[in-house]
Amino acid sequence: MKESFNFKLFGLNLMLLFLVCLPRFNGNQILVQQEPYDAKYFKAYVEYFRGEVPSAPIRPASNWRFLVPLIASALPFSPATSINLINLFLIMGSLLFFYLTLEKMGVVDKKRWIAISLFIFSFPTFYYSCISYVDPGSIFFLSLGIFLWFKQKYLLFIISLIVGLMAKETIALIFPFTLAHALLNKNYKQIILLVGALLLYWIEYKLIRDFAPISLGETRDKFWSLNLNAAKVNLNRMHTWFSFILSFGLIGILFIYKLIFAGKNLTKNKTSMAALAGFVGVLGLYSYSYISTIADGRIIWHGYFFMLLLIFDPNLEKQKINGE
């Protein structure tokens, strides 16, 4: 018998999410009053969409990520508050769709809520959700895309990808997971669909880079390029190390534990293998960010959905119990 959705428990989790995000809301820091570096560019983007004179340049790569500032510009609050209210709702939505994904996979209700709690009580959710950055937009569309993929709603999946790219280009992290899932299931229609989706992603990505608003004097093509000096900076930057370790966190430890003790059963489970492929894609993007820009834990945050899918995959549990 299908369990009914517990609205009270979901409401409690939303309240806990709000409390976790509150100390850093609008980028507040208790010990050091220092605005997160890129926040000024996204706040300036909100001002631009409101028809005001931007307080900072409209520049790459923040100008590619216009969806959250555009929505925030319609709210009657300061740019920072408007962005972070939208971010808070996007994280709420991502948790709802991830819960529904776990339900679709057959994860029991108790473990679904444990997975949601692990996401909420994590360093990235506390540190990055409401600091006037736009990563929650990518987190939301990644969760939505995974849900739509499992539901086989392919038209909506494509639409979520198109809109998600307007939030942030890291929505591309859905491709390693979905491609691996399609290949493992030998679903050639899905493979063709994803090849088309990749082409569509690339065309839209190029159009956004070429035509998104930009301030005079700013160049469009000098971002995410290989820069060995960035690797040197990251290697000697304690914040880079701490943000990676803290972002990997408890979910990462449980993920490694599951990988070790799953053994050969892991290779027999297509969803878990696809989730592993998704996380490998996250590590690949993080590695590239390490040698091209200032790296932090936000990319690892995107890997939480893939890690949690593997941690709570019920089929992996059944195989272990049956000794397969």
Query: Residues 118-166: pLDDT tens digits?
Result: 999 999 999 999 999 999 999 999 999 999 999 999 999 999 999 999 9
| Residue 14 covered by a domain | no
* Confidence band of 316 (pLDDT split at 50, 70, 90): confident
Pull the structure tokens for residue 47: 């001002």
Side chain identity at residue 205, one-letter code? Y
Which residue segment(s) compose the domain that 274 sits in?
Answer: 37-215+222-322
Q: Which of 106, 248, 252, 278 is nearest to 177 (CA)?
A: 278
- What is the Cα–Cα distance from 293 to 267, expressed in whole angstroms? 35
Asked if pLDDT for residue 289 goes beyond 60, the answer is: yes
- What is the Cα–Cα distance from 56 to 42, expressed in whole angstroms? 9
Q: What's the whole-number mean pLDDT along residues 14-30?
A: 89
**What pLDDT, on the 0 to 100 scale, is given for residue 319?**
54
| Residue 101 covered by a domain | yes
- What is the Cα–Cα distance from 92 to 74, expressed in whole angstroms? 20
**What pLDDT, on the 0 to 100 scale, is given for residue 321?**
47
| Residue 240 covered by a domain | yes
* Confidence band of 219 (pLDDT split at 50, 70, 90): confident
* Confidence band of 275 (pLDDT split at 50, 70, 90): very high
How high is the mean pLDDT of the chain?
A: 92
Q: How many domains are there within the chain?
A: 1
| Residue 27 covered by a domain | no
| Residue 122 covered by a domain | yes
Asked if pLDDT for residue 200 goes beyond 80, the answer is: yes
Asked if pLDDT for residue 31 goes beyond 80, the answer is: no
* Confidence band of 320 (pLDDT split at 50, 70, 90): low
| Residue 192 covered by a domain | yes
| Residue 291 covered by a domain | yes
| Residue 168 covered by a domain | yes
Lowest mean pLDDT among 23-32, 60-69, 73-82, 90-99: 23-32
